[in-house]
Amino acid sequence: MLDIKFDLTKEPKEKPQGPLGFGKIFTDHMFIMNYTEGKGWHDPRVEPYHEISLEPSAMVFHYGQEMFEGLKAYRGDDGKAFLFRPDMNAKRAIRSNERLCIPTIPEEDFVQAIKAVVNVDRDWIPTEPGTSLYIRPFIIATDPILGVAPSKTYLFIIILSPSGAYYSSGLAPVGIWIEDDYVRAVRGGLGYAKTGGNYAASLAAQVKAHDDGYEQVLWLDGVERKYIEEVGSMNIFFKIDGKIVTPMLSGSILPGITRDSVITLCKDWGYEVEERLISVDELLDAQKSGKLEEVFGTGTAAVISPVGKLRFGNEVMVIGDGTIGEVSQKLYDTVTGIQTGAIPDERGWRVEVN
């Protein structure tokens, strides 16, 4: 258990009015904790949100030794604040840290730190439909040394951002570009870890896709460039001939918490759910024979995001009629309903901040 010190601001900022966007506004406070080899994680504290100062030689700037997480807080009518499955983020953070040689943080401490800072800034949790307080925990390597080696010092920081929908189109279906040149990750690489490098690797293809009018990139496997992996900021699901199909966790894709929740819900609702290899050719065939019924992405930031169009080379697969599909809508309503408390949480996914 962390012994967290609190230094609260005397000059609270104005809360935002109007549309929030995603990740643009930050609250009054942040959590911060240091790591020093031989001493472990130490000095956990909640402080006014502030700039941090690092030496230009800090390892994170050169070799990208860093990890991050993403989760959200919601506020009930009674003023209570809730998180969605924070234990899953804490467990995934441990796996990312291990992959990146960053010292791990015990699950209970990770969740305690999140609760501590969210509790202090609970008035910042927006309550308009489709909004939440996005929570961004991250760890950076701070040794001021240019040799390539694991750092001996780190900072663990949590910042909070009142946010709206990740995509400006909200629940309108997005267009996705299937990338057949660049790859995001390979098995044995960093694909399953939540680390900045995976997102840096995605930018060139994202720019290409945007230039062509597509919102996001769908990655293929790094070896054969044949099998579907994930989208830049979400996992991907298909409804093919009545079955729910999603790429299996092969090591090169992110084990999404919304992905896991969607699989559980679909199974509970009686759908056959397959986690397996899915080739682009299978998708093209399914689309041509009218069996590709729905496509949607899942992610903490994106929640459930319907896909209306997939482009691969010269082929453009149009999915549905330009509106959100039935299963995608039901999943969106159920996931957000559980998160906000609008529908009962039978699985213990909603965790109160206290």
Which residue ranges make up the site for ligand COI (CB under 6 A)? 70, 199, 233, 299-301
- Specify the residue, 113 or 135, whose C-beta has the smaller distance to ligand COI: 135
To ligand COI, the closest distance from the beta carbon of 298 in angstroms equals 9
Q: Give me the least distance between CB of 30 and ligand COI, in Å please.
A: 17
CA distance to 87, 141, 224, per residue, from 34 (Å) = 21, 10, 42
Least Å distance between CB 70 and ligand COI?
2
- Which residues lie below 8 Å from residue 233, measured CB to CB, with a gap of 6+? 166, 216, 297, 299, 301, 302
Contact (CB, 8 A) for 66 and 141: yes
* Ramachandran assignment for 258, one of left (phi > 0), alpha (psi -120 to 50 degrees), beta (any other): alpha
Q: How far is Cα 96 from Cα 195, in angstroms, rounded to an integer? A: 7
Q: How far is the CB of 245 from ligand COI (least distance, A)?
A: 21
Residue closer to ligand COI, measured from CB, 45 or 85: 85
Q: What whole-number distance in Å separates Cα of residue 283 and Cα of residue 293? A: 11
Q: CB nearer to ligand COI: give 303 or 324.
A: 303
Q: Which is nearer to ligand COI, 287 or 300 (CB)?
A: 300
Q: Which of 341, 12, 335, 24 is nearest to 163 (CA)?
A: 24
C-beta closer to ligand COI: residue 63 or 68 = 68
Least spacing, CB of residue 83 vs ligand COI, in Å: 13
Smaller CB separation from ligand COI, 96 or 300 = 300
Smallest distance, ligand COI to C-beta of residue 166, A: 6
Q: Are 112 and 122 in contact (CB under 8 A)?
A: no
Question: In this structure, what token pair is assigned to residue 4?
Answer: 């967290």
From 176, 186, 247, 262, select the one nearest 214 (Cα to Cα): 176
CB nearer to ligand COI: give 173 or 299.
299
CB of 1 to ligand COI, least distance (A): 26
Minimum Å gap between C-beta 11 and ligand COI is 29
Angle at 73 between CA 236 and CA 170, to 5 degrees: 45
- Whole-angstrom distance, CA of residue 62 vs CA of residue 289: 49
For ligand COI, the closer CB: 70 or 189: 70
Q: Give the DSSP per-residue string, 250-288.
A: -SSS---HHHHHHHHHHHHTT--EEEE--BHHHHHHHHH
DSSP letter for 144, please.
Answer: B
